[in-house]
Structure 1
Amino acid sequence: MSHALSPQLPTTTAQKDNDVSEQKGIQVATPEHTQGTAGNGQVLVEARGLQKSFGIRQILKNVDFQMNKGDITVIIGKSGSGKSTLLRALAGLTDPDEGEILVDGRTVFAEQKRTKEWTKVRSEVGMVFQTYTLWPHMNVLDNLVLAPRKVRGAAGSESRDRAEAALDEVGMKHHILSRPTQLSGGERQRVAIARALMMKPKLLLCDEITSALDPPVAAEVLDVLRRLKEEDGIAVALVTHDMAFASKAADRVVFFHDGEIAVNATPEAAFDDCDNQDLKKFVDAVRF
């Protein structure tokens, strides 16, 4: 794993972590396995030692996570394993109890609070949810320009131009004056992605955005994400149960199990060469 943002762990600590991981059957990522094929190997986001509990239940257990610029990382695992909590922590929607988060080299969370750096990079991190969260009384254009105008004070002509460009990227420009109620589920999800693109993010976090869609429509939405990566260099972290997309389009596959990252590998290593039994059981259950 690249250590562009953090110093190398002392040998004794790193070896101890590896020994514990091996005892649990966890695949330990080595330097040659961590760089994705789409980006240039530069780290965009890094989480160190994240812990998060809700009541007496610990959801994240000392999680270390890293993404490179321009890569797609697919995050899989059972419900409640910590996937969505990690995304929400990266997006600033929930704060960990412990740990650090860095975005593009800036520490945005440390010592149990958001730092001043977070205000500088928060617009570079977009998030798309399963439920679209579009305002039904507004047309598509108004849904898209609302945040840029309120957050950045963007002018009307500027925000409309950006909205048209964002909608064009997801194939929805012809629906710019439609209302969400006039759109199908897949179309609404594309609009939600376009809205996230309005802030020109470097990182797009997607939480189960295709789970409510029919397989052909879900495939179209996932194809949009792949094009955003290939054409615009946007890094995408996607929580999904779509193993076909994970195996074909992802640069990394991260498997959560019981609040920990049990596997972090290339799709080939995760699905073909991994001996982690929890991952095998999960993949078999999802596929069949």
Structure 2
Amino acid sequence: MIKINNLQKTFGDTKVLKGIDLEVKKGEVVSIIGPSGTGKSTLLRCMNFLEMPDEGIITIGDTSVNASNCTKKEIYNFRKKSAMVFQSINLLKNKTALQNVMEPMIVVQKMPKKEAKDIALGLLEKVGVLDKKDSYPRNMSGGQQQRVGIARALASSAEVILFDEPTSSLDPELVGEVLNIIKKVAEESKVTMIIVTHEMKFAREVSDTIIFLENGVIAEQGTPSEIFESCRNERVNKFVNNFSFAGGNVI
């Protein structure tokens, strides 16, 4: 489904990604964890070429792009394979929730407005903000806006949804509601998801695979039980043991 070969990215004198190799199966939910500043968001942004990798081949489905030798058209077409939910939410401020969700269907998929509206209403209901369909972002809470962002990502019919720390800009009391929506979407939609998160309890519950990224390399990967219960990597153990799983808002 997704295959990454030798993905590398440098900013100035700092090599952020040092040859990432990764495979993700169709319908799999993968969480990327690790210390701040270790390349997690950069990896995600390179996967849909919001950041241009220095080297590497990225494949989604039957489409591959070689970062060392690709055209703008190839990148444009490749971006249609994935949708991103940003940590900064990034809704169109001059459009209502309904219009935000309809946008990718009308602009990219060239879908008739009536059909796009019907689908968008269903998606807003799915993420629990149908009552906000006529509201603009400024009139919604951060949690409500992020729910609309998730609905918009689903509306793109992309093969992969990339979540870049989707709760990092939210007030603490709103984090749980958004994580629960992501969990619900993962369970019901069976869409392939890659999630960068610092929410360990959520990652443990929602993921098929956990990746621990540090210093630009994948230091460890495995099932949630392998990472959180039986991992022999002392660095990973130290990291995850800093978090408590006794509480949390994910249900």
TM-score (norm 2): 0.90
Q: Residues of 2 paired with 1:151 and 1:105: CA distance?
A: 19
The answer (yes or no) to whether the contact 1:247–1:267 under 8 Å persists in 2 is yes
> Does residue 139 of structure 2 align to residue 178 of structure 1?
no
Other-structure match for 2:164: 207
Which ranges of structure 2 fall in alignment gaps of 5 or more residues?
A: 246-251
How far apart are residue 256 of structure 1 and its match?
Answer: 0.5
1:151 match: 108
Cα–Cα, structure 1 residues 168 and 121, in superposed 2: closer, same or farther, change >3 Å? farther
Find out whether 1:248 has 2:205 as its counterpart. Answer: yes
Residue equivalent to 1:94: 51
Hey, what's the Cα distance between the residues in 2 that align with 1:112 and 1:281?
40
- The answer to whether 1:187 aligns with 2:144 is yes
Which letter does structure 2 place at the counterpart of 1:235? T
SS of structure 2 residue aligned to 1:212: coil
1:104-130 alpha-carbon deviations (Å, 9 max, x no partner): 132133434358665545323110111
User: Superposition RMSD on alpha carbons, in Å?
Assistant: 2.0
State, as a whole percentage, how many aligned pairs show the same letter: 38
Is structure 2 residue 20 aligned with structure 1 residue 63? yes
Q: Give 2:10's aligned amino acid.
A: S
Shift of 1:155: 2.1
8 Å CA contact retained: 1:98, 1:112 = no
| Paired residue total | 245
Q: Deviations over 1:170-208 (max 9, x none)?
A: 111221101111111111100111111111122110011
Task: Report the Cα distance in structure 2 between the residues aligned to 1:249 and 1:152, rounded to whole angstroms.
Answer: 30
The superposition leaves residues 230-286 of structure 1 with CA deviations (integer Å, 9 ceiling, x where unpaired) of 222111111111110111121010001100000111010011111212212222344
Check conservation: 2:53, 2:67, Cα contact below 8 A. Answer: no
What are the within-5 Å matches in structure 2 for residues 117-136 of structure 1? 118-136=75-93
Secondary structure in 1 aligned to 2:183?
A: helix
Classify 1:102/1:116 alpha carbon distance in 2 versus 1 (closer, same or farther; 3 Å): farther
Structure 2 residue aligned with 1:230: 187
Conserved? CA contact 1:73–1:236, under 8 Å = yes
Distance 2:146 2:31 in 1: 18
> How far did residue 227 of structure 1 move?
2.1
Residue of structure 2 equivalent to 1:81: 38
- The correspondence of residues 101-120 of structure 1 with structure 2, limited to 5 A, is 101-113=58-70, 118-120=75-77
Maintained 8 Å contact 2:55/2:66: no
Please point out which of 31, 47, 50 is paired with 2:7.
50
d(CA) in 1 for partners of 2:64 and 2:12?
27
Do the aligned residues in 2 keep the contact of 1:72 with 1:250 (CA within 8 Å)?
Answer: yes
Q: Is contact 2:82-2:162 (8 Å) kept?
A: yes
User: Residue 202 of structure 2 aligns to which amino acid in structure 1?
Assistant: F
Distance in 1, Cα, partners of 2:13 & 2:74: 31
In 1, the alpha carbon distance for the partners of 2:84 and 2:218 equals 21
Q: TM-score, normalised by structure 1?
A: 0.79
The amino acid across from 1:176 in the alignment is: K
Change (3 A) 1:112 1:79: farther
Alpha-carbon shift at residue 66 of structure 1 (Å): 1.6
Question: Unpaired runs of 5+ in structure 1?
Answer: 1-43
SS at match of 1:113: coil
- Separation in structure 2 between the aligned mates of residue 199 and residue 133 of structure 1, nearest angstrom: 15
Q: Matched residues in 2 for 1:59 and 1:114: separation?
A: 24
